[in-house]
């Protein structure tokens, strides 16, 4: 390894398993000290167990790195504040926040319960806001004190949030909001020396494997081609000082395919006639010029919503 993140201090939420585990291991292998945060719940968010985070810490330490385990609930405002404070207390500073924790409670929108909606939106969206809010306040205080800041926020959206996926109204809505949240953070925090970017990963994890027929039915070739390490590679580079000029971007990572997902832009424009009975032809004309909806791979698909 090259020591790309030598001397930097990073927090990784959801760092005990899957993509978060790979983020933590690769950041440490590149010289970062890592706070491995993981509540240790089941894929649907139930329960808690610090063991996965502790196992990642043990692996980092065995390789000569520095890490601590943290079991804070990142949907809790006070616990998120304590998470940021612990990183600073133990390692003396904070340079990188990787917001990665997530759960799934998939259901068609007409069958989804209020609890299923609230739980997923809380972990993903509020679970991004709470740590980010307290990290941003820490970096703002540093900046106001005249100390140099070269910090990173790395958020996690999803193709489901960017392009939509059946059965994931709660997850897709939260992930779409995270992409928007990233843009706002980039605009607000750039003057402080903080960048904010977003990953949209496709990788085989304990959340995704059941959607692909179960891990036992996924070939070794597919597991390698969609390993979480591909995502961690991009995350680690974004965490480094090399990425200081990159902010407000969403990186769609699918194995060795690296795509910049382009956000909303103004498309075809027309004139509103002011009368609803005259609007139909105007809308039809604009739609004939507009790009079709994208499929889950982000490619134009004229048939998707027909």
DSSP 68-132: EEE---TTSHHHHHHHHHHHHHHHS---EEE--------B-TTT--HHHHHHHHIIIIIHHHHHH
Burial of 110 (0-12, 13-18, 19+ CB in 10 A): exposed
Least confident of 12-21, 244-253, 296-305: 296-305
How far is the C-alpha of 264 from the C-alpha of 260, rounded, in Å?
A: 13
How sure is the predictor about 49, in pLDDT bands with cuts at 50, 70 and 90? confident
Q: What is the pLDDT of residue 108?
A: 97
Examine the pLDDT at 44 and tell me if it is beyond 80.
no
125 and 174 together in one domain: yes
Residue 2 lies in a domain: no
How sure is the predictor about 48, in pLDDT bands with cuts at 50, 70 and 90? confident
User: Does residue 268 contact residue 286 with C-beta atoms inside 8 Å?
Assistant: yes
Average pLDDT over residues 102-123: 96
48 and 158 together in one domain: yes
How far is the C-alpha of 295 from the C-alpha of 305, rounded, in Å?
A: 10
Q: Which domain holds residue 207?
A: 9-261
Residue 300 lies in a domain: yes
Active site residue 160: no
Count of structural domains within the chain: 2
User: Does residue 57 contact residue 51 with C-beta atoms inside 8 Å?
Assistant: no
Active site residue 171: yes
How sure is the predictor about 6, in pLDDT bands with cuts at 50, 70 and 90? very high
35 and 75 together in one domain: yes
Residue 188 lies in a domain: yes
88 and 151 together in one domain: yes
96 forms bridges with which residues in the sheet?
10, 152
Give kind and range of the element (H or E) at residue 65. none
How sure is the predictor about 223, in pLDDT bands with cuts at 50, 70 and 90? low
Q: What is the pLDDT of residue 209?
A: 55
172 and 122 together in one domain: yes
Among 79, 84, 70, residue whose Cα is nearest residue 38: 70
111 and 244 together in one domain: yes
Residue 80 lies in a domain: yes
Examine the pLDDT at 263 and tell me if it is beyond 80.
yes
Least confident of 42-51, 186-195, 196-205, 218-227: 218-227
Residue 93 lies in a domain: yes
176 and 53 together in one domain: yes
Among 198, 199, 158, 194, residue whose Cα is nearest residue 182: 198
How sure is the predictor about 211, in pLDDT bands with cuts at 50, 70 and 90? low
- Burial state string for 254-270 with b = 16 or more CB within 10 A and e = fewer than 16: bbeeeeebeeeeeeeee
Dihedral (C-alpha) 41, 201, 196, 14: value to the nearest 10 degrees?
Answer: 10
Please give the mean pLDDT across all residues of the chain. Answer: 93
How sure is the predictor about 225, in pLDDT bands with cuts at 50, 70 and 90? confident
Q: What is the pLDDT of residue 216?
A: 62
Helix segments in the chain, DSSP class H:
18-29, 51-62, 77-91, 114-121, 127-144, 159-163, 169-189, 220-225, 228-239, 280-289
Q: What is the pLDDT of residue 40?
A: 84
How far is the C-alpha of 291 from the C-alpha of 286, rounded, in Å?
A: 10
189 and 299 together in one domain: no
Active site residue 143: no
Catalytic pick among 33, 138, 171, 243: 171
Residue 233 lies in a domain: yes
Q: pLDDT tens digit string along 123-154?
A: 999 999 999 999 999 999 999 999 999 999 99
How far is the C-alpha of 140 from the C-alpha of 109, rounded, in Å?
A: 40
Catalytic pick among 29, 160, 175, 240: 175
Among 284, 300, 282, 27, residue whose Cα is nearest residue 163: 300
- Distances 288 to 117, 191, 282 between C-alpha atoms, Å: 35, 41, 10
Catalytic pick among 33, 158, 160, 243: 158
Dihedral (C-alpha) 223, 224, 230, 231: value to the nearest 10 degrees?
Answer: 10
């Amino acid at each position: 390894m090259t020591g790309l993140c030598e001397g930097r201090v990073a927090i990784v939420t959801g760092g005990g398993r899957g993509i978060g585990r790979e983020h933590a291991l690769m950041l440490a292998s590149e010289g970062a000290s890592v706070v491995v945060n993981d509540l240790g719940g089941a894929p649907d968010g139930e329960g808690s167990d610090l063991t996965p985070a502790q196992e990642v810490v043990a692996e980092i330490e065995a390789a000569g790195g520095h890490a601590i385990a943290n079991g804070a609930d990142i949907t809790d405002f006070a616990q998120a504040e304590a998470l940021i404070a612990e990183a600073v207390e133990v390692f003396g500073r904070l340079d990188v926040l990787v917001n990665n924790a997530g759960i799934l409670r998939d259901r068609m929108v007409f069958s989804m319960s209020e609890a299923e909606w609230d739980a997923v939106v809380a972990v993903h969206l509020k679970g991004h806001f709470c740590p980010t809010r307290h990290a941003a306040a820490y970096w703002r205080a540093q900046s106001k004190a005249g100390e140099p800041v070269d910090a990173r926020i790395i958020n996690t959206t999803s193709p489901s949030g960017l392009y939509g996926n059946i059965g994931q109204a709660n997850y897709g809505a939260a992930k779409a909001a995270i992409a928007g949240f990233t843009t706002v953070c980039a605009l607000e925090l750039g003057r402080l020396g903080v960048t904010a970017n977003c990953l949209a990963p496709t990788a085989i994890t304990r959340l995704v494997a059941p959607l692909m027929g179960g891990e036992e039915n996924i070939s070794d070739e597919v597991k390698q081609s969609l390993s979480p390490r591909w995502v961690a590679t991009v995350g680690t580079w974004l965490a480094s000082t090399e990425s200081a000029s990159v902010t407000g971007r969403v990186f769609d990572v699918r194995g060795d395919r690296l795509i910049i997902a382009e956000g909303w832009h103004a498309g075809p424009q027309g004139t509103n006639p002011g009368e609803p009975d005259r609007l139909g032809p105007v809308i039809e004309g604009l739609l004939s010029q507009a790009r079709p909806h994208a499929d889950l791979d982000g490619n134009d698909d004229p048939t998707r919503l027909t």
